[in-house]
Amino acid sequence: MKLIADSGSTKTDWVVLDGNNEITSFQTEGLNPFFKNSETIYKELMEEGEIQNYKEKIKAIYFYGAGCSSTEMNNIVYQGLKKAFSQAHVHIKHDLLGASIALCGNQKGICAILGTGSNSCVFDGEKIVEEQVSLGYILGDEGAGTDIGKRLLKDYLYQTMPLHLSQELSTDYLLTKTEILQQIYQSEAPNRFLASFARWVGKHIKNEDYLRNLVEQSFESFITIHIIKYPNYEQYPFNVVGSVAYHFQEELTKVASQYHLKIGKILQKPIDGLIAYHKNN
């Protein structure tokens, strides 16, 4: 049996394959090694009932994860998984490669992740051949849920957003300035806290020019800082995966067209594409 995983900073999608048959699927929290150590990863896996049913039968694990961008970070995830699945060969890859496989298959294209965080690359149908620097939620994550959340909260705290939206946000969350700063600077998962406000933006964006502009400005930052730096970027389809890309497709398509980008696929999550790939590989 194979275990396929796509892990962002917020959640991880898991699927157990037996040959070409999907045996079961489940979800856990995101297992980003920048925020979790090996023991935490192991303990969280052991709390998932579905894993207990198959952990002795799994012979190979293909884990595509946010934060899995170096040998050191990959080893954190590897040790946690190996402790949980002692009989399995464990393969750790970056979530950007998983997204590229899911979006492009064996075709060339620019691939991007716009979820809790953001990232991008040029994929040649087999491997990533170019990649922009990803700096995380403090210095980067342009276009992601964390960036949208930061922009919203800054305008809220600086009192530069429309008054009726400020009042509604205050009513919905009951957050003080002190509580917001504590969540950002002292909590275990500040990136997820920031990204959670993207859902609020999505609920209210339909009739609010301010919110549409906020989202479009975030996407414009992502495209100008990352995408148009790729040589001949206009020649590739622009493929994007992630909850932010999926739920704000209208705004993303509008901004992309301003830079002559040809939209390819927009997927909410890559797990289905990864299942199809690993059924044949």
pTM of the model: 0.79
Q: Which of 169, 249, 179, 264 is closest to 216 using CA atoms?
A: 249
Selected from 3.40.50.410, 3.40.50.300, 3.30.420.40, 3.40.50.150, the CATH number assigned to the domain covering 2-98+271-279 reads 3.30.420.40
- Give 60-90 pLDDT, tens digit per residue: 999 999 888 889 999 999 999 999 888 889 9
Report yes or no: 236 and 110 within 8 Å, Cβ to Cβ: yes
DSSP 130: E
Tokens describing residue 250:
């209208």
Domain ranges of the chain: 2-98+271-279
- Give 29-53 pLDDT, tens digit per residue: 888 898 888 999 898 888 877 777 7
Length of the chain: 281
What is the mean pLDDT, run by run of 10 residues, along the chain of 281 residues? 87 87 86 89 83 82 89 92 88 90 89 92 91 85 95 95 94 88 88 93 94 97 94 92 94 95 90 83 70
Element (DSSP H or E) covering residue 264: strand 262-267
